[in-house]
Structure 1
C-alpha cells in the first residue's frame, strides 16, 4: 500500500510545507473557491478497512477448515515456549503486560506536546469502540451462538474469545496512524508481540485468538478513521498560485471550476499578460478513489486491456504529462501542456493553455454534420498513426473551439506505444458514441471515409459493451440495437472480411454467480452425505430395482434424442443424436441445467448444416414442447394424487405457503410493466422463430409423433428411475406421488444457476419425498442413488461422447 500512503499532517505542520510558506509570502491573489472542508473521509482508509475485513474472514475460514493443523501447530508452539528460560519468560511477560499500556500513553503524551491532541482523541475513540465491540462479540460467542468459532478462539477453556485489551490497543495504534512513525511503530508492535507471547504461554489465548483480535482492532481503527474523517491536507488555492509562480507564471486571478470526471480539482487562472491557464490539481488522497471498480475491471478483463488499479501521485503526473506531450508531437489538436509541478507533498498540478471550447455533449445532434464527423476521425487518425490510444473518446473529451475546430482533451487516460488492441478499442468506442448521436449508418460512413473499411472491420469484433466506457454503456441501455446496427453496416462495407473473434472478458458475472452457487451446493451435498452411510446405501439397496433405475436413466437419453429428431424436419441419425445427449450430460458439469443441453444441441444442428437461426428455433421448439408436457403431466399427476392418495401425500402448511409465495411472485413479475417487458423480451428472443418451426413439424405426422413420444418418454423415464430408487430402499409411496415430487423438483433445479441444478435438485427431491411420508434418511438415500445414476454416472460416457463427436467434427 506504499502508493496510497498520505503524509502525516502533524509532521507537515511541524516541519513546514514549502508550498504553504510560499503562498503566505504572496497573499495578493484572491482565489475564488469553496472553503475546503477541515476533515475528509479518505478512500484509502475505507480501502484498508475493507481489506482488513477480507483478511479477517479468510483467517477465520482457514482456521475453521484446518482445525487439526492448527491444533498441531499450537502444540508445537507451546512445546517450544517451554524451552525458553524461565527468567526470560517472566521478563517477557512483565514487559509485554506493562509496556502494552505504557507505549500508547507515551505516544499520546508526545502528540499532546506537539499540539496534536485531536489525533489522540481519535485513538481513544477507536480504543473504546474496540474494547466494547470485542466484549460484546465475546459474550455473543460465549452464549454458544457459533460453537465452532467459540472453540477456535477459546480452545474450550474459560478465557476471553477476543482479548479486549489487545483489541483496543491495536485499534488505538491504528487510529493514531502510528505506522507512519518508524520508531514508534517498531516499539508498538514489539510490545504487542511480547504481550501475545505472554498470553499464549499463560494459556490465556489460542493461536487463532492471537490473530483475530489484532485484525479486529485494525478494522476498528480504520473504520474509526473513515467514520470521523482525517484532517484535510489538500493544498488550498493559494498553494496552487505559489506553485505557478515557481514555474515563472504571473497569476493575477484564480477561480475554481468544475472538477473533472476523475474528481480532480480544476482552476481557471488569469495571468498578467491577459492570457489564461487551465490548471488540473492531482490530490494524493484521490488516487484510490474508484479503486473497487478499477480492481473489478482489472480482474474481469484480459491483461491487454486493463489498466493499473493504483498509481502513485508521481506516476499519475508523469503519465498525463507524457501523453500530453506525445499528442502535441503527433500534431493532434489538444491543449498545450505548459508546465508541471508538485505542490508540497500532497498534490501536483498540470498547467494547460486555455482554449475557449465547449464539449460535444453540449452540441445538439442536429448540428453534428458530416464535416464535423470527418474532423473528429482525422484527429483520432493522427493519434493512431503515432500509436497513441486515447481510451476515453466520449462527448466530454471531444471539444469544439469557437471556430468549430475539434479539440481532444483528457489525456490522462491515454497510452503511448499502444498495441493494436487498444487502438482498435478507440475506434470501437468512437464508432459507438457517434452512432448513439447521429445513427449507425452515418457513424460508419464517416469513419470509413477517413480510417478506411479495413480499420472498421478490425474494430468490429470489439463492438462489445464490456469494451466501452461506463457512460457509453449506460447510453446503450436505451438503444440496445446500436451495436448490431454498427456491425451490419460494417459488414455491408466489407462483406468478404474475415471476422476474428476477440474475448475481452476473463469471466462474466453470471459465471461468478454459478461458482458461488456451486460452492454452496457442494457444501449442502457434503452435509447430506455426512448424514448417510454410503457403504450401507450401496450394500442395502435392492439391486433389481437399482438395475431398473439404471435402465430408465439410459432410456432418458434415447428419449431426448427422439425428441430432438422430432422437432427437426431434417434427418438426424438416431445413435449419433443419442451420443450428443450423453455429451450434454458431460457439459452440465460446468453449466446450469437449462443451458448446457441447449448449447450442445444447437451446435450439433449447426454442424449438420442447419442454419444458426433454424437450429436455435428447433432447440427452442423442443424446449417449449418439453415445458408444455412438463406442466401438463404435473397437473395430471397432482390431480390423480389428490384424488386417490390424499392421505399418503398431504401437503404441509409450509408447502402451501411456498406455493402461495410462488403465485404472488408470478403475479408481481407479470404485473409490473418493466419486469413484464424484461421477461417477454427474453422469451421473445428465445422463441422468436419457434412457431414457424413448429408448423414445419406439424406438416409431418411421423415427426410430430416422434416429438411427442420422445418428450413424454423423458419425463416418464426419470420418474421411473426415481420410483425405482425409492423401491430399492423399501420405500412405499405411490408412483403418481413420486411423479409430482420429481416434476416439482426438476422445475426448481432448472431455475438454479448451479451446474446441473446441483444442490437445488437434491434438496427439493429430499424435501418432497420427506413430505410425501418417507423417512428422511431413506429419502436422502434414494435421492443420492437417483442423482448418481442420472447425473454423475453419465459423466464418463458423456466425456467419451463429447471427445468422439469433436474428433468427427460433429460438435
Structure 2
C-alpha cells in the first residue's frame, strides 16, 4: 500500500481531530520494515536449498530437466513464438508501469525499482562469471553453467523480478497479473529453448526477490503508520472527546504510547502498528526453538490477533480483581494500526523508584497481586520491574500484552522466577525471598528454585545480571536456607545450548575436511607400502601418553591416589572426547575422579588447575625452545627460521600488550584467570613440599609431550617420511594448542588440519603428511574410544567416577 493510499483512507478519520493538539516527534517519511528483511531471509533459505539440491538429488534434477526437454519438442513452434513475444513484453511492461507512476507523481517508487534492477543485473553477471570459472562441478552441471549457450541465471528476468518486487504491487491486482504473467511466459520460453534450466529459473527467481526485498529494507518504504491526529480522531469516534495528546517514549519498539486528556479524565493509549508486529521476530523464533517452555504460542501475531490477545488479558485480569489499569475501549486506526485506551494511572514504575522507597509492605502487595493473577491460571510472561506501576504506595500490574490464559504450572513458576529475580536485583535476595514466602509459601518458593536459570529470564534481566553475576547463586542459597527441607527436582528448560550448535557445525566441517583428505589418498597403496614396525612404535608411544597423563595428575595432588585407577580415568577421558571439546574433557573427568577419591571439591579443582597451569607453561616453553632449535638447523627439512619465530613472538607480545592497556579487556582476562586458577597457588605450595610429587608432576608433563611427539614421528616414518625431531615437535605443539582451543569434540578437524598443514610446510609431501596424521589420530583419538568406554563404565560401577 502506498503512502498516498494510506493517507487517503485516513482522511475521513482525520477530519474528526480538528482542534485537538497532539505533541509528538516529527513523523519519518520512510521506515525500514522488518517484514522485508524476513522475506529476504526466507528467499535466501530457498536459494540455499536450490543450490544444495544438485548435490543431494542429482538424478532427480537431471531427470526433471530431461522430461521438460522431451515435453517441449511437440510444441516447439508455439514456444518459439512465445519466446519472441515474451522477450519484448517482459521489458515493455515495466517501462509502461514506470511511465504510469511518473505521470501520477510517484517517481520515487520507480527509482527504487530501477536501483534494485541494476543491482540484480550486476549480481547476475558476477555470479555467472564466478560459476563459469570456479563453480562446483555438480552445481554448474545441474544449473546449466557448463552447457554451451546456456546461462543459469536469466540476465533478462532477474532485474525484472527485482524491479517488480521493489515497486510493491500489493493492492494492484491487475498490474500484478500482467507483470507476473509476462515473467512466467518468458521463463517457460527460456526453459523450453534450452536457454536455462529448471533449477536455474528457480535460482533466478530467488535472487531477484532477495535483491528486491533488501533494496526495500535498505532504502525504506513509505511510512504507513497513522499519525497522532489519527489516534485522537479514533478516540473521538469512540465518544471519548480528547482535547490533548502527548507521545510518551517508553523505550519499546513494538508499540507507541500516548497520554491523552479526555472529557472523562486522562487516558493511557497504546497504539499497535501493523509493521511492528514483526519486531523481535528472529529473537522470539530463536527462543522458541531453544527453550522447551517460555516461548509464546505464536511467534508472529497479526495485528488483529495482538489486539484481541491484549484485550482478553486486560478484561480477564480485571475480572480476577487484579489491580491493573481498566481497559476502556479498543479500535482500529485505519488499516495499519489499532489502539487500546486504558484508564490513566498516575504512578511511577518500580524500576524508577529509589531503593529506599521500596518497602517490605510494597513487596508483599506486589506478590499478592501476582498471586491473584496466577490463581486464575494467567501468566504475565514479562514480570520485571517495568511491569509494576506504583501509585500512592499501591502496586498495579501493567504490560499485559504478552500474557496468556489457561497456562501450565511451568509457565506460572517461570513468571514467579522472573519476578523474584527482578525484585532481588533491586532489594537484595534476602528481602525478595522473605516477602515472596509470606505470600506464596515455602513449598511454592522451593519449586521456583530449579527455574532460577539465566536462560529462563527476560533479555533485560539477563543484561542486569551481568552487573551482579553472583545474584542467582546467592538467591538459590537464600531459598535453601529459608526452606532447607525442600526437595529439588532439576528442570531442563533448554532443548539445546548455543555451544551445541557450534560443536555440530565444527564437527561437520571437521568431518568434511577428513573426508576430503581421504578422497585424495590411495588407502590400498598406503596399507600395502606402510612400514608397520614404525606403526607399532607409534602405538606404544600412544599408550605411554595415558601413563604420563596419570603421572601429571598424581604429581599435583598431595593426597594418595591409586595409580591403576588414575590411568583408567585418563583412558576414560578419551571416550568422553567424542562428545565434548578436548579442553573441557580432561578437566571435567579429572575433577570428578578426584572428588570420588575423597579429595574435597575445592582442592580437586585447584589440583586440576595446577596441573593445567603447569602443562600450559611447559607447553609454551617447549614451543619456544623447539622453534629456536628448528630455526637453527640447516637441513632441508627445517620447519621455520628463527627470525620468523622471533617476529611472531614479538608480534604476539605487542598485541597482548596493546590489549592489556584496555581496562575492560584487562579486567575480563583477570576474572577469567582467577576463576580458572583460583586456589592453584596454595595447592602448588602444598605440592612443592614433597620433591617426589614435583618430579612426578613435571616428569609426567614432559613425558606426555615426548610420547605424543614420538607417536607422530613414528607415524611419519611408517609411510616413508622423514623430518627433524624438533620440526615434528613444533608441528605437534602447534596443532595440539589449536585442537585444545577448538570447540569440536576432541578438536576434530582443527587438529587434522593444523598437523597436515604443519607437516606439509615442514617439507613432507602432502600424501605422506595426510597419511601420517590419519594414523596418528587413529592411534590417539579413535582407537582408544572402545577401551575408554570400558574404563568409563568400570570406574562408574566402582563409584570412582
**Residues 624-681 of structure 1: CA distance to partner in whole angstroms, max 9, x if unpaired?**
3332443444455456555666664251576665444433343344443322222221
Measured after TM superposition, the shift of residue 188 of structure 1 is 3.7
1:524, 1:759 within 8 Å by CA — same for their partners in 2?
yes
1:288 equivalent to 2:278? Answer yes
Partner of 1:686: 676
Q: CA 1:694/1:372 → structure 2, altered by over 3 Å: closer, same or farther?
A: same
Note the 1:475-490 alignment, pairs <5 A.
Answer: 475-490=464-479
Q: CA 1:34/1:628 → structure 2, altered by over 3 Å: closer, same or farther?
A: closer
Note the 1:413-424 alignment, pairs <5 A.
Answer: 413-424=402-413
Partner of 1:232: 223
Q: CA 1:540/1:421 → structure 2, altered by over 3 Å: closer, same or farther?
A: same
**Residues 24-54 of structure 1: CA distance to partner in whole angstroms, max 9, x if unpaired?**
2552423333342332221111221233233
Note the 1:423-434 alignment, pairs <5 A.
Answer: 423-434=412-423
2:35, 2:275 within 8 Å by CA — same for their partners in 1?
yes
Partner of 2:746: 756
- Residue 590 (structure 2) aligned to one of 591, 601, 607: 601
Measured in 1, the distance between the counterparts of 2:83 and 2:334 equals 45
1:592, 1:753 within 8 Å by CA — same for their partners in 2?
yes
**Residues 701-721 of structure 1: CA distance to partner in whole angstroms, max 9, x if unpaired?**
665554444333322221221
Measured in 2, the distance between the counterparts of 1:638 and 1:120 equals 64
Note the 1:171-250 alignment, pairs <5 A.
Answer: 171-178=162-169, 180-182=171-173, 184-250=175-241
1:567, 1:697 within 8 Å by CA — same for their partners in 2?
yes
Question: What value does the CA root-mean-square deviation take over the aligned residues?
Answer: 3.0
The secondary structure found in structure 2 opposite 1:287 is helix
- Residue 514 (structure 1) aligned to one of 485, 503, 514: 503
Q: CA 1:525/1:664 → structure 2, altered by over 3 Å: closer, same or farther?
A: farther
1:789 equivalent to 2:779? Answer yes
Q: Under a length normalisation based on structure 1, what TM-score does the superposition of the two structures give?
A: 0.91
Measured after TM superposition, the shift of residue 334 of structure 1 is 0.9
1:398 equivalent to 2:388? Answer yes
Measured after TM superposition, the shift of residue 776 of structure 1 is 2.8
Measured in 2, the distance between the counterparts of 1:665 and 1:61 equals 41
Measured in 1, the distance between the counterparts of 2:249 and 2:6 equals 28
Q: CA 1:170/1:643 → structure 2, altered by over 3 Å: closer, same or farther?
A: closer
Partner of 2:345: 355
Q: CA 1:738/1:196 → structure 2, altered by over 3 Å: closer, same or farther?
A: same
- Residue 266 (structure 2) aligned to one of 269, 276, 281: 276
The secondary structure found in structure 2 opposite 1:164 is coil
Measured in 2, the distance between the counterparts of 1:793 and 1:79 equals 54
The secondary structure found in structure 1 opposite 2:345 is coil
Partner of 2:292: 302
The secondary structure found in structure 1 opposite 2:121 is helix
1:20, 1:235 within 8 Å by CA — same for their partners in 2?
no
1:339, 1:352 within 8 Å by CA — same for their partners in 2?
yes
1:305, 1:422 within 8 Å by CA — same for their partners in 2?
no
Measured after TM superposition, the shift of residue 125 of structure 1 is 3.5
**Residues 714-741 of structure 1: CA distance to partner in whole angstroms, max 9, x if unpaired?**
2222122111111112222233432232
Q: CA 1:453/1:610 → structure 2, altered by over 3 Å: closer, same or farther?
A: farther
Partner of 2:720: 730
1:162, 1:213 within 8 Å by CA — same for their partners in 2?
yes
Measured after TM superposition, the shift of residue 94 of structure 1 is 4.1
Measured in 1, the distance between the counterparts of 2:329 and 2:19 equals 22
Measured in 2, the distance between the counterparts of 1:793 and 1:62 equals 36
Q: CA 1:198/1:643 → structure 2, altered by over 3 Å: closer, same or farther?
A: closer
Q: Under a length normalisation based on structure 2, what TM-score does the superposition of the two structures give?
A: 0.92
Note the 1:525-536 alignment, pairs <5 A.
Answer: 525-536=514-525
- Residue 169 (structure 1) aligned to one of 160, 179, 187: 160
**Residues 7-26 of structure 1: CA distance to partner in whole angstroms, max 9, x if unpaired?**
5666656xx63x54133255
The secondary structure found in structure 2 opposite 1:396 is coil
Partner of 2:766: 776
Partner of 1:125: 115
Measured after TM superposition, the shift of residue 501 of structure 1 is 2.1
Measured in 2, the distance between the counterparts of 1:557 and 1:79 equals 66
Measured in 1, the distance between the counterparts of 2:296 and 2:607 equals 40
Note the 1:141-180 alignment, pairs <5 A.
Answer: 141-142=131-132, 144=133, 146=135, 148=137, 152-178=143-169, 180=171
Measured in 1, the distance between the counterparts of 2:337 and 2:773 equals 65
Partner of 1:588: 577
1:56 equivalent to 2:40? Answer no
**Residues 433-461 of structure 1: CA distance to partner in whole angstroms, max 9, x if unpaired?**
22222222222222222222222222122
Measured after TM superposition, the shift of residue 593 of structure 1 is 1.0
Partner of 1:328: 318
Measured after TM superposition, the shift of residue 498 of structure 1 is 2.2
Partner of 1:4: none
The secondary structure found in structure 1 opposite 2:571 is helix
Measured in 2, the distance between the counterparts of 1:153 and 1:219 equals 21
Partner of 1:622: 611
Measured after TM superposition, the shift of residue 532 of structure 1 is 2.1
1:569, 1:697 within 8 Å by CA — same for their partners in 2?
yes
2:33, 2:220 within 8 Å by CA — same for their partners in 1?
yes
Q: CA 1:331/1:75 → structure 2, altered by over 3 Å: closer, same or farther?
A: same
Q: Which moved more, 1:644-653 or 1:42-51?
A: 644-653
**Residues 438-488 of structure 1: CA distance to partner in whole angstroms, max 9, x if unpaired?**
222222222222222222222122222222222222222122122222122
Measured in 1, the distance between the counterparts of 2:748 and 2:455 equals 30
Measured after TM superposition, the shift of residue 536 of structure 1 is 2.0
The secondary structure found in structure 1 opposite 2:404 is coil
The secondary structure found in structure 1 opposite 2:552 is helix
**Residues 357-398 of structure 1: CA distance to partner in whole angstroms, max 9, x if unpaired?**
111222212222222222222222222222222222223221
Q: Matched residue pairs, number?
A: 798
Measured in 1, the distance between the counterparts of 2:618 and 2:347 equals 65
Measured in 1, the distance between the counterparts of 2:639 and 2:230 equals 79
The secondary structure found in structure 1 opposite 2:239 is coil
Measured in 2, the distance between the counterparts of 1:390 and 1:617 equals 44
- Residue 333 (structure 2) aligned to one of 343, 350, 362: 343
- Residue 61 (structure 2) aligned to one of 70, 76, 86: 70
Measured in 1, the distance between the counterparts of 2:224 and 2:625 equals 74
Q: Which runs of 5+ in 1 are unaligned?
A: 1-6
Measured after TM superposition, the shift of residue 409 of structure 1 is 1.1
